[in-house]
Structure 1
Amino acid sequence: MTVVAVAVFVIAYVLIATERVHKLLAALGGAAVLLALGVTDSEHAFYSPDTGIDWDVIFLLFGMMVIVGVLRRTGVFEFIAIWAAKRAKGSPLRVMILLTLITAIASAFLDNVTTVLLIAPVTLLVCDRLGVDPVPFLIAEVMASNIGGAATLIGDPPNIIIASRSGLTFNDFLLHMAPLVVIELIVFCLVLPRLFKGSFAVDPARVEDVLRLNEREAIEDRSLLIKCGVVLAAVFVGFVGHAALHIEPSIVALLGAGLLVLISGMPTKNYMTSVEWQTLLFFAGLFVMVGALVKTGVIGDLADKVADVTEGHALAAVMLVLFVSAVLSGIVDNIPYVATMSPVVLELSRSIPDPGQADALWWALAIGADFGGNATAVGASANVVVIGLALRAGTPISFWAFTRKGIVITAITIVVAVPYLWLRYFVLS
């Protein structure tokens, strides 16, 4: 059964990485094969917290998708983008920096895929008005979304998986990841002028057109916007205090979604179209396949080998996890990578006696996966979403156009993360 579990997983993983078939088909197909062959069963696949579908992850994403589906109808994201362009006085570089910062902050509290879906169309509009190539702006925004999303539990899908496996809370992510993200964003903004050198020439007449836009006209429903603001504030408080309240983040998100749907009175079709069913089902199939590896002992054996390589040296283990995660998350989507690696890190952390240094393994995994997702066009789901939006808008982003910039940013962010991990968890702890 072990050989079958590994073979099915590797085949599905290769199909996902190479995009030979749709990733949903690969994940669900792999899960179906494992269930059909008896490698796993319904009890382990659907009910076990260690080897089954993590329903907290599924319903947390679902709840946030519904909330954003309602929020989308207010026009608030269009308002913010136009406001930023005007505050930048039409300077393409300042517009890029403002939009990337807005994207990064929004990604921390909504999730990066949702944020780029909402910001990218507005970026295309602003760039069209300025008469500049939108490709550098879109690439910068998606990279900022992956960096900013790393700050919180809900900002980047890999973080949700890590929190579920490790028991780390929303507050833990804020305390440990947010300080690094702030540093990384400062460095990122300083690098932008050189990274996209030659992309900021603009016609003064075009600038005047942008300055004449009225951002207030973008708000379509002020009453709904107020309701969304109140509910989002309550949801955020629930996320921050969920440990003290003994309520899981998934329940907070579902309660927030239900309340917002109730008070908005919005037709079901208006917000349910924002639910990415394919993403949720992809997660489900992936959890079943990884659970089969846990059930057959593959994950435990792999963790033992990693522990042998590092010879129980906590710092070596942390750096190994960081660099391997950064490289592999750039080659394949960071979601399946983290789903596979998190059980390994869980086993590895148990071999480290110091709790703080054991937790550093999880932060290394999160940093490597989140920042490593910037390396290539297929490294993170947000990358794929933005490339698709750009293609439909007639401004395609090639794999190498993205990757040439992505490798540079990934290298810089990982280099910055190394002293942070070393100082915080091994020198100052």
Structure 2
Amino acid sequence: MSAVIALVIFVVAFFFIATEKVDKVKVVLIAAAAMAVFGLIPGAEVFFSEHEGIDWRVIFLLLGMMIIVGVIKQTGIFDYLAIWAAKKSRGKPYRLMVLLMLITAVASPFLDNVTTIMLVAPVTVVVCNRLHIPAQPYLIAEVLASNIGGAATLIGDPPNIIIGSRAGLTFGDFLVHMAPIVVVIFAVFVLFTRVLFRKSFRYNPERVASVMALQERRAITDVRLLVRCLIVLGFVVLGFGLHSVLHIDPSLVALVGAGVMVLVSKLDISEVLEEVEWPTLVFFMGLFVMVAGLVHTGVIGTIGEWAINVVGDNFFAAATSLLLGSAVLGAFFDNIPYVATMAPVVEGLVAEAPDPQTGQALWWAFALGADFGGNGTAVAASANVVAIGIAARNGHRISFWQFTKYGIVVTILSTLIAWLYVWLRYFM
């Protein structure tokens, strides 16, 4: 009975988030409160449990990076990069989108995709404002590119970190098995965006001419602060890359980096904190509690175990189930708690595999489905929520369905290509 109540609360909340009849932050707070009132979450443990509660690592990673971006913004570097991007693309909409997607996709495997979006999105907003074109299509394309590109490495997408830790997979393993198909899917996606966003491409010759006449170097307002910020940011990126070696969580790296950034900038802290997307952080907390209700009452685990029991000892069917099932479920639940919940189920299935290659194939199918499912809806991955928050703050509101109508198409396309890859490489 408790599982049914938890599922009903989640579905009703998701309906209001999708229809946007009520502010999504209010929705998740009310839903989280309902989960608590009905006793569907593990009590006070919801604040401490890694698998059945708020993932504070995600919250503090976001907070740290928001502070870092807030300080960097004061230097004028985002205006500089926006003018540079506009000039490089000569203001041509599709060329500009490809350039921004390439930057995002190249950065995402080495930074996590949330961090990448937080660095690229402000540039996108500025360049679109300069060219007097809507920023929404460019931000959506960047998020989709980020979720695809982040799948290539161990540190590129948070679900990969969870899977790598559980399965004992290294950074090199992800490069060998995930990077090849990510490159193929990204190339297809870049070509596909020409059709997908064709109605959004606008070219304003007068605005382009005025931007081409600008000198981007004049956009930098504080060179000394910029140098200090870039040094700190460099160490933060290095910390992200070495977190598996140093055994320091990326959230701690982001928080330390934020503290050092504020220290070296000598800016008024209240000014910096104004740049933090507080509604986005609160939304994540409420969403984690909602998902905790599904986890604690066994809804997600039951769905996963049922799917695996259906396929029996047919391991290609199991891989297909994991890939497609993770893409579908990952589109409706945030893929971080989803992967944390399903990882033990997958581990049990891998233990029954007849050989190591088949066992690894199951992990890769699981990772591909969870990563690409993150593009499915506006709330499926952390990067999606962050980008929508940044867009709203800058007057370029992205609705749930505006994002989702593109995300579903890209998820279906990338998942089908990934399924073909798993079949050819591991089961052919």
TM-score (norm 2): 0.80
Equivalent residues of 1:322, 1:364 under 8 A apart = yes
After superposition, the C-alpha distances for 1:125-147 in whole angstroms (9 at most, x for unaligned) are: 2432xxx6656544433432333
Aligned to 2:311: 310
Return the alpha-carbon distance in structure 2 between the equivalents of residues 201 and 35 of structure 1.
Answer: 48
Return the alpha-carbon distance in structure 1 between the equivalents of residues 385 and 255 of structure 2.
Answer: 27
Superposition pairs for residues 275-294 of structure 1, below 5 Å? 275-294=276-295
Match of 2:9 among 11, 14, 34: 11
Aligned to 1:344: 342
Which SS does the other structure have where 1:81 is aligned?
Answer: helix
- Matched residue type, 1:91: K
Offset of residue 225 of structure 1:
2.1
Q: Indicate yes or no: 2:61 matched with 1:60.
A: yes
Superposition pairs for residues 97-246 of structure 1, below 5 Å? 97-108=98-109, 109=111, 111=114, 113-115=117-119, 117-128=121-132, 136-151=137-152, 176-197=177-198, 202=203, 206-246=207-247
Offset of residue 305 of structure 1:
1.4
Superposition pairs for residues 305-384 of structure 1, below 5 Å? 305-330=306-331, 332=332, 334-335=333-334, 338-340=336-338, 342-353=340-351, 357-358=358-359, 360-361=361-362, 363-375=364-376
- Matched residue type, 2:414: T
Q: Relative to 1, partners in 2 of residues 1:275 and 1:341: Cα closer, same or farther, differing over 3 Å?
A: same
Equivalent residues of 1:5, 1:34 under 8 A apart = no
Equivalent residues of 2:82, 2:124 under 8 A apart = no
Equivalent residues of 2:2, 2:297 under 8 A apart = no
Offset of residue 25 of structure 1:
3.5
Equivalent residues of 2:131, 2:211 under 8 A apart = no
Offset of residue 118 of structure 1:
0.9
Aligned to 1:250: 251
Q: Relative to 1, partners in 2 of residues 1:233 and 1:422: Cα closer, same or farther, differing over 3 Å?
A: farther
- Matched residue type, 1:8: A
- Matched residue type, 2:310: V
After superposition, the C-alpha distances for 1:351-379 in whole angstroms (9 at most, x for unaligned) are: 21256655555544443344344455665
Q: Indicate yes or no: 2:48 matched with 1:47.
A: yes
After superposition, the C-alpha distances for 1:168-192 in whole angstroms (9 at most, x for unaligned) are: 7777666654443333222222233
Superposition pairs for residues 17-32 of structure 1, below 5 Å? 17-19=15-17, 20-32=21-33
After superposition, the C-alpha distances for 1:79-131 in whole angstroms (9 at most, x for unaligned) are: 22221221233433322211222233445526255246413322322432xxx
Q: Relative to 1, partners in 2 of residues 1:392 and 1:246: Cα closer, same or farther, differing over 3 Å?
A: closer
- Matched residue type, 1:61: L
Return the alpha-carbon distance in structure 1 between the equivalents of residues 58 and 396 of structure 2.
Answer: 34
Which SS does the other structure have where 2:350 is aligned?
Answer: coil
Stretch moving more, 374-383 or 225-234: 374-383
Across the aligned residues of Structure 1 and Structure 2, the Cα RMSD in angstroms comes to: 3.8
Stretch moving more, 172-181 or 113-122: 172-181
- Matched residue type, 1:186: A
Q: Aligned residues: percent identity? A: 49
Offset of residue 390 of structure 1:
6.7
Stretch moving more, 81-90 or 193-202: 193-202
Return the alpha-carbon distance in structure 2 between the equivalents of residues 280 and 199 of structure 1.
Answer: 30
- Matched residue type, 2:271: N
Equivalent residues of 2:158, 2:336 under 8 A apart = no
Return the alpha-carbon distance in structure 2 between the equivalents of residues 74 and 35 of structure 1.
Answer: 44
Which SS does the other structure have where 2:305 is aligned?
Answer: helix
Return the alpha-carbon distance in structure 2 between the equivalents of residues 362 and 271 of structure 1.
Answer: 41
Offset of residue 311 of structure 1:
0.8
TM-score (norm 1): 0.79
Return the alpha-carbon distance in structure 2 between the equivalents of residues 407 and 229 of structure 1.
Answer: 36
Which SS does the other structure have where 1:213 is aligned?
Answer: coil
Return the alpha-carbon distance in structure 1 between the equivalents of residues 358 and 80 of structure 2.
Answer: 44
Equivalent residues of 1:350, 1:358 under 8 A apart = no
After superposition, the C-alpha distances for 1:312-339 in whole angstroms (9 at most, x for unaligned) are: 4333223223223334455x4x52x552
Q: Relative to 1, partners in 2 of residues 1:249 and 1:405: Cα closer, same or farther, differing over 3 Å?
A: closer
Aligned to 1:96: 97
Q: Relative to 1, partners in 2 of residues 1:216 and 1:172: Cα closer, same or farther, differing over 3 Å?
A: farther
Equivalent residues of 2:117, 2:142 under 8 A apart = no
Question: Please, which runs of 5 or more residues in structure 1 have no aligned partner?
Answer: none
